[in-house]
Amino acid sequence: MAEQRRPLVSHIFTADPSAHVFNDKIYVYPSHDLAHEGEDNDNGDEYLMEDYHVLSLDNLEAECVDNGEALHMKDVPWVSKQMWAPDVAYKNGTYYLYFPARDKDGIFRIGVATSDSPVGPFKAQENYMQGTFSIDPAVFIDDDGRAYMYNGGLWGGQLEKWKTGSFDPNGGENAPDEPEVGPMVGELRDDMLELKGSYEHIKIVDENGVELRAGDEDRRYFEDPWMHKYNGKYYFSYSTGTTHYLVYAVGDSPVGPFTYQGRILEPVLGWTTHHSIVEYHGKWYLFYHDCELSNGINHRRNVKYTELNYREDGSIITIEPYK
């Protein structure tokens, strides 16, 4: 079964799917959109998510199961609101749930919670991961066992407010002809609970090796990092935000630099686009969201998936979501 392209579940609104294969089953870790009548704005105030549900598929022809609430903000001491797009990694016999949320000062941080089951419940650490900021954590464990966390998002995700190394509430994007305010990567400690050191800036370059410009909105990084490995190459994919593309860049190291290659997915219904890529039984799949169930209401999204295909040279064939 190659094509799904219909909402995985319809009884709740889900978005930002991080898909993984554990024990030969597919587990999807989305954010959970709550219906409300609040304002849509560039700060993301319409996204008032409070908890996480874990979805699972015994196989790609099975019914998707909602395994219930795995973590709620009331059980995380440092969180004030907005538990946005999460990810999960498995190591040391433990499942680690990484999630962004605003701390008591309104600053986005990354937290981590643990469980001995892929569906939870997860128990959060008392505090956020030290030295972390912004949103959209994605954790990649390389073949050598080293683990890396990628994250960062502009605007509501506050990434541009950290250009000086500390939080500047008035910080803004770079000028259009300056290098982009790009994503961050940090290697995790062996216990997976903290960064081993500090963040590094990820460099995404064009075909001439020049770092992408902030004004290059068709290609520059906005949010939603994801890492997967294909034929020995590292594929760093992300959302362009304002132009609504999912795109990718390829490199020889998990920390870059990465050379921009092209688009994975054309725009979907709704403002945001957010994804993950996973291999299952020898084929590759793209998990993403749109606003089909809500007829375009941005904070009421639904998760879907479709098959992802590569050409012989390793390039990804662009997906048209509604064809």
Instruction: Provide φ and ψ at 29, rounded to 5°.
Output: -110, 95
| Phi-psi group of 196: left, alpha or beta (phi > 0 → left; psi -120 to 50 → alpha; rest → beta) | alpha
Contact 226, 242 (CB under 8 A): no
| Coil vs helix vs strand at 290 | strand
* Domains observed in the chain: 13-308 (2.115.10.20)
| pTM for the whole structure | 0.96
Instruction: Provide φ and ψ at 74, rounded to 5°.
Output: -65, -15
Q: From the candidates 46, 87, 160, 223, which is the catalytic residue?
A: 223
Sheet holding 283-290, edge to edge: 275-280, 283-290, 302-308
Instruction: Please indicate whether residue 223 is annotated as part of the active site.
Output: yes
Give pLDDT tens digits along the chain (323 positions): 346 789 999 999 999 999 999 999 999 999 999 977 767 666 767 777 999 999 999 999 999 999 999 999 999 999 999 999 999 999 999 999 999 999 999 999 999 999 999 999 999 999 999 999 999 999 999 999 999 999 999 999 999 999 999 999 999 999 999 999 999 999 999 999 999 999 999 999 999 999 999 999 999 999 999 999 999 999 999 999 999 999 999 999 999 999 999 999 999 999 999 999 999 999 999 999 999 999 998 889 999 999 999 999 999 999 999 98
Q: From the candidates 16, 46, 136, 160, which is the catalytic residue?
A: 16
Instruction: Please indicate whether residue 144 is annotated as part of the active site.
Output: no
